[in-house]
Amino acid sequence: MRIIIAKDYDELSKKTANLLASQITLKPNSVLGLATGSTPVGAYNDLVRIYKEGDINFTEVVTFNLDEYYGLDKENPQSYYYFMMENLFKHVNINKHNIHIPNGRAKDIELECIEYENKIKQAGGIDLQLLGIGRNGHIGFNEPDVKFLDEDTIEANSRFFTALDEVPRKAISMGIKTIMHSRKIILLASGEEKAETINSMINGKITPELPASVLQLHPDVVVLLDEKAACKL
């Protein structure tokens, strides 16, 4: 794992956007794995800025998002589809046929997951996967030892909803194996509330209780932290 420590959230966002932009420059038809949540918002803003300055082109870029809440329509402002449109896709010249986000309203979830995996394979696999990390060490919605969303995740994500019981209890997520098959991974963390988890992920044992710890086994991971998230290292 390569660890890069940025001064603060703004610097973390700029560095991430620059890495994503370099990936697109080096390989214009890159397959990007993308994350939602608060952490990558700044990076997406900066990536849009780089695009508007004319330095990158999304026409051949293909994207696969990590996850989607189960039961939410695309139009729901809390859906990850909506998040991606607002924060990135509607601002750049990406071909809408190249955007992939799990369908939270799929009737047959098993089939949706199989087809999603197949599409990733058909696209040639993920070149660069962007990840955030939950306070409990989840990546995507791969929770410690459980199949439903963890109580801590529901509590953390309730900040985007008006009430705790509005947060969906289930999600469709890219699995750990698919994430591990990505050629490169960039994991982002910002803020002191992630510091303990980041330290365990990097220096602790590899355990399903902290799903992100499996990244220790991946050959090309960059962990991009701000100083607060790095303060327990």
Q: Which CB, 55 or 151, lies closer to ligand F6R?
A: 151
Structure tokens at 22: 């370099």
Q: Are 109 and 173 in contact (CB under 8 A)?
A: no
Site string for ligand F6R, 212-231 (x = CB under 6 A): --------------------
Is 137 a binding residue for ligand F6R by CB under 6 A? The answer is no
Q: Select the residue interacting with ligand F6R from 137, 140, 168, 211 (CB under 6 A).
A: 140
Q: To the nearest whole angstrom, how small is the minimum distance from the Cβ of residue 207 to ligand F6R?
A: 17
- Report yes or no: 215 and 201 within 8 Å, Cβ to Cβ: yes
Longest dimension (CA), the chain: 45
Report strand pairing: 62-65 vs 99-100.
parallel
Active-site residue, 118 included: no
Cβ neighbours around 48 below 10 Å, total: 17
Q: Which of 87, 98, 136, 157 is catalytic?
A: 136
**Cα end-to-end span (Å), the chain:** 13
The answer to whether 168 contacts ligand F6R (rule: CB under 6 A) is no
* Out of 132, 137, 168, 211, the residue judged to bind ligand F6R by CB under 6 A: 132
Binding range to ligand F6R, per CB under 6 A, among 25-33, 92-100, 131-139, 201-209:
131-139
- Among residue numbers 21 through 40, which ones bind ligand F6R (CB under 6 A)? 35-39
DSSP-assigned beta bridge partners for residue 4: 224
At 130, give phi and psi (nearest 5°).
-95, 135
**Residue from 93, 86, 76 nearest 36 by CA:** 86
Task: Decide whether 133 or 167 has the Cβ nearer to ligand F6R.
Answer: 133
Give the phi and the psi of residue 230 in degrees, each rounded to 5: -95, 0
Active site annotation includes 143: yes
| Site residues for ligand F6R per CB under 6 A | 35-39, 66-67, 132-134, 138-141
Residues with catalytic roles: 67, 136, 138, 143
